[in-house]
Structure 1
Amino acid sequence: MPHKRIRVLLIEDNPGDAKLVRVMLKAATEPGFEVQHVKDLQTGLAQMKSQDFDVLLLDLNLPDSQDLGTLWRAHAHAPSIPIVILTGIEDRQKAMEAMTRGAKDYLVKGKVDAHLLERAILRYVKVTDKEQHGVEERTEELLKNEHPFRLLVEKAERSAILMLDPNGRISSWNTGAERIIGYRADEIIGQHFSCFYPPEDQKLGQPAAALRVAASEGWFEKEGWRIRKDRSRFWANVAITALRDERGRLVGFSKVTHDLSGLKRAEEALQLLANVTAAASSGEDFHTAMSGCVKEICRLRKWQVGQVWAPDPIKNVLLCAPQSFHAELPCASFRQASLETEFKRGAGLPGRIWEKNSPAWIVDVTKDGNFPRARFAAEHGLKAAFGFPIRDGPNLFGVFEFFAAEIRDPDTPFLDAVDKLGDRLGEVLRTSEERFRAVSETAYNPIISANREGNIIHWNKAAERTFGYTSTEAMGKPLTLIMPERFHGAHRQGLERYLRTGEARVIGKRIELTGRRQNGDEFPIELSLASWETSEGAFFTGIIRDLTERKQAEQAAELARSNADLQAFAY
């Protein structure tokens, strides 16, 4: 008595490939195959709903469905029908994913003969007891040459592939999982898969939520941080597929994890480069550009304190820039110590970065033998630190340094990223500085900037000509340097009031005052004053106009009018 023919549904949009499958299966011996062919997934799903099939031969790329989404839709629609993938995509990684998502086998077009195709179908087909003997005989014959994908999951090393029971406990563990996550099979089997989630995600119930979605929708996929055996974190793509028996009952889950740490680091490096470069380019002047860079790096990488060191070519040391600073926690004594410290090559964190011309990382500054500000850092709970050079070609443009309130292990890929960032920032900040200096140094009128203490931090050429002090003589001195002594008290009171209350009586206005030159001469001036804020507080820039000639002209005109009046009166 002949055995029942095995009913095969072939979903394949290429007529030539479909014809070849028919020819190969037509030549098979008992029990034989009955092939029904459709060209798109939607028609195939309708056929599976209205008819009974023993096996599904499925192409992944169809007119109405692409890639592994095709498998997911077919498996969700008819979970009890064995699915054998027959595709033109020769991709070992995709084959592993397909088999963990419900495929029974993965065959590549052009590398499949009639013998291999028949064997793949017979391994998974379900028949009645009367027909079983014939199928077993044929299957035993075909399995003499084992298909190469049978041990695919067990031997895969690029992906962590594991099976979970319906409650989320691990029941199988491949070599890729051991390589990526670190546990041996005997250490992890039986444990709940939530142990791979960070504590904050466990508290939010994310592991249970992932299983709920997979169970209800058949599939769950998300990227996020995961935890290795050594407690280090890695960025992962996680796909969970619900596994059901022929009656549709949930029997467990397959879980595939890909380590995307390299890709994540590359994305973060690009984001860092783009955002920080944009912050540097958008600064209204050199100092706001530097402050913007520091703030953006702190925000992106969650460092709490950042500041900038600039070279002093005369003293051959690094000095802490008073205008470029960002802090998200109180650190007054540490900041003051930085402003008062000069670093030579090799000294402290800025000095060693300068000497080596490369980034540096300190796990805990309070225990570092070459960190002179350790006592002040400890007062504010500062621990980890890193810094990197800002290079303008072969020259050092400056050093950025950052601090965190916890111990952090060195992040080598991140240091590589900021090393490249340093070169880019050097170009952008040099352009910003040249633009500001070009405007300032060629300006006809004096341009003077001061910090919140009222001390001079910028002094252009016009200021030298007008007041008589060189830049070296004026820098760091109080603004009272250029005021008559009788106005010193009012100036200090006004500055203190503004810093305390924000009340501005002269900022944003043009006012006439009296200035004092180096030789003691007093002369009339017009002042236009502006202010800007950084994390360290307020800074001020004033544009000053010498009114001496205008006042003399006004006096001459007034004298002429007076003389004219006298003459008119005389006549």
Structure 2
Amino acid sequence: MRICAIPLKPGTLAEELGLLIDGATNYAIYMLDPQGYVTIWNRGAERIKGWTQAEIVGRHFSVFYQPRDIAADKPAADLVRAAAEGRLEEESWRVRRDGSEFFACVTMTALHDETGALRGFGKVVRDLTEQKAAETALARREEHLRSILETVPDAMIIIDEAGTISSFSAAAERLFGHVEADVIGRNVSVLMPEPDRGRHDGYLADYMGGGERKVIGRVRLVTGLRRNGETFPLELAVGEALVGDRRIFTGFIRDLTERRRTELRLQDLQSELIHVSRLSAMGTMASTLAHELNQPLTAVTNYLEGARGLLDDPTPETLALAREAMEDATAQSIRAGHIIRRLRDFVAHGAVSQRPEPLNLMVEEAAHLALIGARAAGVRVVTDYSSTDAMVRADRVQIQQVLVNLIRNAIQAMADTPRRILTIATCPVDDHMQVTITDTGGGIAPGVADRLFQAFASSKPEGMGLGLSICRTIVEAHGGAIWATALPDGTEFHFTLLRADLDDIDGG
């Protein structure tokens, strides 16, 4: 293969080489003699270092070094090293004509003639100040971000398209019990219990294939798996980003263990408070209940005493009367038993369990208990139950507690009024059933109306103001609402309960 050289006129090559060197304005290109004095200086060197060719040619290159480097005799050492090794490359600080410093990439090459004698040195210098500043700023931002991620309570995990973990924050280490080195490069499913572990890669593949967004951009409650095999509840939010042509997913994770424990404790305390409220309600009704129970028990005693007297000298007529007395005693004992059963059910401290219940029957049972002694107090009761015996999803004991509280409050509100009419009504409202208790009492005190359902708000001198607050807690826990309406001659209390779906009824 022949290589054809293009003939050049004398001096042309040197001129074109000079033009090429001067055109490289982003690089300081210059030459030194063997002792380090500048002999050639391009325009890039003028722009970067600040000296013109006339000012710098003939001066020693040590003027480009920092004072401390000059004191350490670094310029001479660099010449010796470049001559010995043939080439020197480094990144270090240099000085401009105005005394300012810049970070430079320096290449010094030893130049020899045909005999091997040292002719001087060629130097190429590139200003890296802006690049160094950008790298430093980036490093600082990364360090700042790393310090934030190491101190925030939420764990952060980054995975790639295949589910492989590429970043595992300090909070994630504390949360899952793994150190970052152990999980980097492993599939994120190692942090999940079954069946999520076996399904995760399939979910990810479906999404990458254009499937539905089930996790991205949403907050979900899921279960995590610690290194020791313990499972725990967590809140997961996943974000998606494109880095070049790669897709990454960042998961932010919050441990819900303490929150769940607190919620369970609050539920226990709430259940205990509701139970105490039932006992308190029974305490306020104690005298009325004692009177109501005393009537059937006294009747039973009288009937049995009479029957025993008739049996002292039995005849067909006395036996018939004794039998009738025994039947009456049985009826009265059953009546007392009903009262005791309602009390036992009402005061029962069982677990909260919402199930489909017939609303009208539930209201009627509670009314029987709450209205004990109402007739003797001159209260006339009017009922207006819905014609559709709708089912509601409720904890029967708790909702009956609401009913007893509202009915007893209504009776007390009418204690000093001449007209005493209590109305109990049920009716459907959209997907709820509504219960309304109406009295003809003196109404709600203006100072209490705005905070009627708040704890410790009461218009009764001896009241603690917990009854209506507990009623609101119970109703809202059932997905309903409770409110009061002022009337010209009384008050209406309303509350709603969700209707039970047919599936709930069938499943119940």
Q: Considering the TM-score relative to the shorter chain, is it more than 0.5?
A: no
Structure-2-length-normalised TM-score: 0.32
